[in-house]
């Protein structure tokens, strides 16, 4: 996977995020702390902490204030993945066994809760109510988005608007909160904070659309199996477009409705989607959300921040090319 170029200050502070993450979950020592440490050091793009730090340059940059928030957002993100893997019964993530696969459902659930609680312990240390509101609102949105995804699984007749609403909650709300947190903790003006948040929403939507494309095209580089959404009955943008183009093909409807589709059905559905224009249409949508995000960033008073946010935008839709 590609990485994204960062300024010296952000690169250095991202290294401090690594030690902050380890410190955050190291006590009290015990199995939960060890699982959390293993999970946090198993890789990850650290995109969300990077957003907090970059957006923290939109006002008075303070590593002391920004680092606990950067650590907290990565902890919430990791907690959500641990829980997501339980719900999806996923056994591989980032090329390694998930906590669910290695430790079972009950330990994974406890480890996810531990990571989540540690995130708020970290952020609470800043005694900034606006920051706490930003992250807790995003955490609530994540739960709602994930629940909505569960409720709509295996339903073949869904809309692009419905899909966008779900990913706004499931993914974009945390991206938006990262950007908002950076602005809040740097004491940026309210209109600037709102612009940062808007950037985060559009970036997060593009990120999830692209993630959903990679579920069809990703291959081994992804570190998780392809076709997972199809096996879970999760209807994403490429599937919606393929259903539209192929007039609700019987094979696609069947794979969405199947509770346990076999490999043959899944591979056939992937082939149908790949042969249609669905992936190109979804890529164009991801591109247009990134363009919107970059345009919003362009209106910020600090053009150096806008430039870094634009680099992140390009990275999000070009992660594996």
| Chain contacts with ligand FPP (rule: CB under 6 A) | 76, 79-81, 83-84, 116, 139, 142-143, 146, 170-171, 211, 224, 228
Complex with ligand FPP: residue 65 or 224, whichever CB lies closer: 224
Between residues 84 and 192, which has the closer beta carbon with respect to Mg ion?
A: 84
Contact 133, 121 (CB under 8 A): no
Q: Work out how close the CB of 187 gets to ligand FPP at its nearest, in angstroms, rounded to a whole number.
A: 27
Exposed / middle / buried, residue 260 (Cβ in 10 Å: 0-12, 13-18, 19+): exposed
- Residue 97: beta bridge partners? 92
Residue 307 is encoded by which pair of tokens? Answer: 């430039």
Q: Are 304 and 55 in contact (CB under 8 A)?
A: no
Position 197 contacts Mg ion (CB under 5 A)? no
Q: Does residue 74 touch Mg ion according to CB under 5 A?
A: no
114 and 38 Cβ atoms separated by less than 8 Å? no
Residue (of 158, 149, 141) closest to 232 by Cα position: 149
Size of the site for Mg ion (CB under 5 A): 2
To the nearest whole angstrom, how small is the minimum distance from the Cβ of residue 7 to ligand FPP?
Answer: 28
Per-residue contact string for residues 81-100; x = within reach of Mg ion by CB under 5 A: ---x---x------------
CB 115 within 8 A of CB 125: no
* CB 230, min distance to Mg ion, A: 12
Q: Residue 14 Cβ, how far from Mg ion at the closest point, in Å?
A: 25
DSSP secondary structure letter of residue 248: S
CB of residue 31 vs ligand FPP: minimum separation in angstroms? 19
Name the site residues for Mg ion (rule: CB under 5 A).
84, 88
């Amino acid at each position: 996977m590609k990485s994204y170029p960062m300024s010296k200050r952000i690169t250095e502070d991202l290294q401090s995020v690594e030690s902050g993450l380890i410190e955050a979950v190291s006590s009290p020592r015990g199995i939960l702390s060890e699982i959390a440490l293993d999970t946090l050091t198993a890789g990850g793009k650290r995109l969300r902490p990077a957003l907090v730090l970059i957006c923290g340059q939109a006002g008075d940059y303070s590593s002391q204030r920004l680092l606990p928030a950067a650590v907290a957002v990565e902890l919430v993100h990791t907690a959500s993945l641990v829980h997501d893997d339980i719900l999806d019964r996923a056994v591989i993530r980032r090329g390694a066994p998930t906590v669910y696969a290695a430790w079972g459902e009950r330990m994974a659930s406890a480890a996810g809760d531990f990571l989540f609680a540690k995130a708020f312990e970290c952020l609470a240390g800043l005694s900034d109510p606006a920051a706490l509101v930003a992250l807790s609102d995003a955490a609530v949105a994540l739960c709602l988005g994930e629940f909505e995804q569960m409720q709509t699984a295996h339903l073949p007749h869904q809309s692009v608007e419905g899909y966008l609403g779900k990913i706004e909650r499931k993914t974009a709300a945390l991206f938006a909160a990262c950007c908002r947190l950076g602005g809040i903790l740097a004491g940026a003006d309210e209109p600037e904070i709102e612009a940062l948040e808007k950037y985060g929403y559009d970036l997060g939507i593009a990120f999830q659309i692209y993630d959903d494309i990679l579920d069809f095209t990703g291959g081994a580089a992804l570190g998780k199996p392809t076709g997972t959404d199809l096996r879970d009955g999760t209807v994403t943008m490429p599937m919606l477009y393929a259903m539209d183009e192929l007039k609700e093909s019987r094979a696609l409807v069947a794979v969405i409705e199947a509770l346990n589709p076999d490999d043959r059905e899944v591979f056939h559905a992937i082939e149908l989607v790949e042969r249609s224009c669905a992936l190109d249409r979804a890529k164009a949508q991801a591109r247009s959300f990134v363009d919107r995000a970059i345009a919003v960033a362009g209106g910020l008073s600090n053009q150096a921040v806008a430039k870094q946010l634009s680099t992140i935008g390009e990275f999000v839709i070009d992660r594996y090319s």
